[in-house]
Structure 1
Amino acid sequence: MIVNWLYKHLPSAEQKNFQLQRQRQLQKGQVELKELALDGYPTELSFGQQALNNYLQEPDEGYYIKSPKSFLGATGLLPQQAELFEDIVAAMMSNVKTLTEAALGRSVSQTVIGRPVNFQGLRGEESNRQALEILTNAAKRVGFKDVEFQFEPVAAGFEYEAGLTKETRVLVVDIGGGTTDCSMLLMGPKQALLPDRTGDLLSHSGERVGGNDFDITFALKGIMPSFGLDSMLKTGKPVPANSYAQAVSINNIHNQTEFYSAANSRLLEQLIRDAEQPELLSRLLTVQKNKLSYRVVNAAEQSKIALTDCTEQLVDLSDIDKGLSVNLDRDGFASACHRELNTIAALMNDAITQANCQPDVVFVTGGTAKSPVLNRFLQQQFQHTPIVIGDHFGSVTAGLTRWANKIYGPGEQG
């Protein structure tokens, strides 16, 4: 279905090549589209909030996977898997390009794409090369003639630089959904005028840990005890924890596949029979049967957001089990996410060590930067250094726009 939608929306110059490369998938997709139409299902792709709404109406029709960009550097991708990722990325880029051109009233052929320092930490530069190749191929396919990349923390730093009046060493910490990236940058009015900033980028560090990991960990340690995690079997042994970790791993296709397998369903049914508190494990089976992983992790995410303004949050999960609610608080969030916080501290220290200098200021951006727990943690790490919290969601985009204007000039970039 993705292949067929993409074929229809490609520039005419690309359609012939795409048809030759994806002939079998296009034919198979045509058959599937006819079956969907006969069954009364929509045959168009949806994006953004509409796509999420459609998924929530029929969660048993597929998996919810968050931060797909972080998968582009995954190890062991087969050629057909890489093609699928490229098609998904191209469809998303095509949609963004179409919306942009409609808003501007003209065509757009140049783009700057934000990228994490490392898409995935397991294979380093090989993973980065694979991811950049997928992104570049997808962008060219949908009609971008000029494609450039910029590190996301560097882009965020460019936006902060616009307000500086003197040369400053800035440690930019960009905590995204799927990755955290740190860059030590030399910034200031003189530096901002330079067309090549390579000499000002003093160091980079990055790893695949971000806001999604905070949500997943909070769901596991804050919510899953009410589903039987840490409870006991009649034999006196603890209930195996593997299914709980798989249940909330909405950033891991393999784990989600294992959790929703028939074999795991049989395992959970057996554990219910063996459990001291079978009513708790029955809730996990409900999640498994109805594909409610996203529901649980989203409850943790919304609680994390709510805990920005309050110290406690009551989570209503009565749609999973009548009368079920879980109380979450800031201290529990800090305790649950101890490992993620320490990973971010290690990335910051790595960037400082590489640069061989201390920052004059720490600039933090990304949605998770709003959390008082994170702010308190950062203050502990940098007790004598000013910490500036930037636009939580707009710093990177604004910085990429500044860089596009610099390298392309005001014109066709998107």
Structure 2
Amino acid sequence: MSNFLYGLDFGTTNSVLSIYDEDKKEIIETIRVPSLIYFPEKLASADDNYVIGEEAIVAYLEEGMKGRFIKSIKQILSRSSFIETRINGRRYNASDLVSLILKDLKSKADQITGEDCRKAVIGRPVFFDDDNTAKDSLAQTRLSKAVEIAGFSNVRFQFEPIGAAFAYERTIEKKESVLVADLGGGTTDFTFVELDPDQARVKDRRNDMIASGGIYIGGDSFDSSFMWIKGTPYFGKDTLYEATPGKVLKVPISLFDNICTWDKMNFFNSLRIKRSMEEYYHYSNNDPKFRNLLTLIDNNLGYSVFQSIEKTKIGLSVEDVSQFQYSNMGIEINEAISINDYNEVIRKDVQKISDYLDRFLNENGIEAASIDSLFLTGGSSMVKAVRDLFVTKFPNSKINSGDNFISVANGLAYSGYLFED
């Protein structure tokens, strides 16, 4: 019987598990699923009450987007305001929701290994919510509980950029001082580390980790900024209403803040809010763009809109112009977005990453000249403005990229030294 270790990267957008055979000392397979859960409106049975990943997308569309679709669950781990939600008569807290994705990955991996593997290195961002200690502690506690519910009992946690560093180390031929940037959906994390291919199998690497830090900005932040600037005008952000004769006001801006953030949109369906929106619609003289907002919420169309935003973003990683297109249930969007338009949309977010990186280097006494290379990973590392940021800051350092989606999980699977107490 073989001995296995799972490296598990629970991500905002995708979650990945790498299976490491400790006897052969190699990764035998890597599994990736989108971090999505769909709870169908019509249940086949009491036990068949949710689907994960790509199957969640299929079921969501086949059922006409009538059930409960949840994305970016990682974002709620640090939110003390989120206690639980009711879905199909059941209560789910943050740990419960996260555990559903972890269980799915474990089940798929166990089918490959033929064993009930309970040993895992679990990735976590350097900070779940910037440097807020209380929120970080809450998120770690919730993640630990989710891991336990999923069936893992022998567990260690590793910072995600350190996992990425170990994956990169397997590709180099000589010792390097490396700045690792893991640009995911929820966070951007940095680690400055000494890597050496001759040390790749050494158990204790703590002395090689020089500095780590992170900021709560990632691909979801970019999408949220895009929705705020380019999307919300199509949903009535500038709608005027006249509840009192002669007194014309704009509808509350908070309504649109809630449709720009996935963790808020997931739970933006209370009767009180819906009644308020119906009243604004009435007093706006049935403004057609505000009608789009009602359609968006009533028909659970958030995911499909953000899919269009994602397509626009991906298009701009290879072309100078991309179409922001959406056509569904009377909502019509067709706007050309140039790379300059998009760079302006995410300018504040990229500047925050830049400012944080400057502080990180300064506070840890790291000179740009001392960095031999950069290793960029995570889906947001493909955004042109992000890559330009690193090229500008480190003109004399080579920039490398691995597989943007599995590097962290692979590196976590190589982190078996954490079990050597």
Amino acid across the alignment from 1:210 = G
Matching residue within 118, 129, 142 for 1:134: 142
Matching residue within 136, 160, 167 for 1:159: 167
**Cα distance, 1:44 vs. partner?**
3.4
| Correspondence 1:114 to 2:120 | no
CA contact (8 A) 2:72 2:262 kept: no
Could you say if the C-alpha distance between residues 138 and 240 of structure 1 is closer, same or farther in structure 2, counting changes exceeding 3 Å? Answer: closer
Identify the range of structure 1 (101-110 vs 245-254) with the bigger mean alpha-carbon deviation: 245-254
**Cα distance, 1:319 vs. partner?**
1.5
Which residue is equivalent to 1:210? Answer: 218
* Structure 2 unaligned spans of 5+: 1-39
**Cα distance, 1:83 vs. partner?**
7.1
Could you say if the C-alpha distance between residues 174 and 225 of structure 1 is closer, same or farther in structure 2, counting changes exceeding 3 Å? Answer: same
| Correspondence 1:225 to 2:233 | yes
Q: What TM-score, normalized to structure 1?
A: 0.78
In structure 2, C-alpha distance between the alignment counterparts of 1:250 and 1:163, rounded to whole Å? 36
**Cα distance, 1:80 vs. partner?**
9.6
| Correspondence 1:331 to 2:337 | no
**Cα distance, 1:168 vs. partner?**
2.0
**Cα distance, 1:115 vs. partner?**
0.5
**Cα distance, 1:349 vs. partner?**
2.0
Answer 1 or 2: which has greater strand percent: 2
In structure 2, C-alpha distance between the alignment counterparts of 1:115 and 1:212, rounded to whole Å? 17
Q: What TM-score, normalized to structure 2?
A: 0.77
Which residue is equivalent to 1:290? Answer: 299
- Aligned pairs for 1:76-225 (under 5 A) are 76=81, 78=83, 84-121=93-130, 123-124=132-133, 126-225=134-233
Could you say if the C-alpha distance between residues 146 and 305 of structure 1 is closer, same or farther in structure 2, counting changes exceeding 3 Å? Answer: same
| Correspondence 1:245 to 2:257 | yes
Amino acid across the alignment from 1:68 = I
Answer 1 or 2: which has greater helix percent: 1
Amino acid across the alignment from 2:67 = E
Could you say if the C-alpha distance between residues 284 and 145 of structure 1 is closer, same or farther in structure 2, counting changes exceeding 3 Å? Answer: closer
Amino acid across the alignment from 1:304 = K
Deviations 1:259-293 (A, max 9, x none): 9822442344046328xxx3333323322332322
Matching residue within 383, 394, 402 for 1:390: 402
Amino acid across the alignment from 2:325 = D
Question: How many residue pairs get matched?
Answer: 370
CA contact (8 A) 1:249 1:256 kept: no
Amino acid across the alignment from 1:50 = E
| Correspondence 1:45 to 2:50 | yes
Which residue is equivalent to 1:12? Answer: none
Which residue is equivalent to 1:22? Answer: none
**Cα distance, 1:239 vs. partner?**
5.9
**Cα distance, 1:344 vs. partner?**
1.4
Could you say if the C-alpha distance between residues 310 and 253 of structure 1 is closer, same or farther in structure 2, counting changes exceeding 3 Å? Answer: closer
In structure 2, C-alpha distance between the alignment counterparts of 1:321 and 1:79, rounded to whole Å? 33
Amino acid across the alignment from 1:44 = N
Identify the range of structure 1 (377-386 vs 246-255) with the bigger mean alpha-carbon deviation: 246-255
Which residue is equivalent to 2:75? Answer: 70
**Cα distance, 1:238 vs. partner?**
6.0
Deviations 1:336-382 (A, max 9, x none): 11111112112322331232122222211101111223222322232
- Percent identity over the alignment is 25
Amino acid across the alignment from 2:58 = N
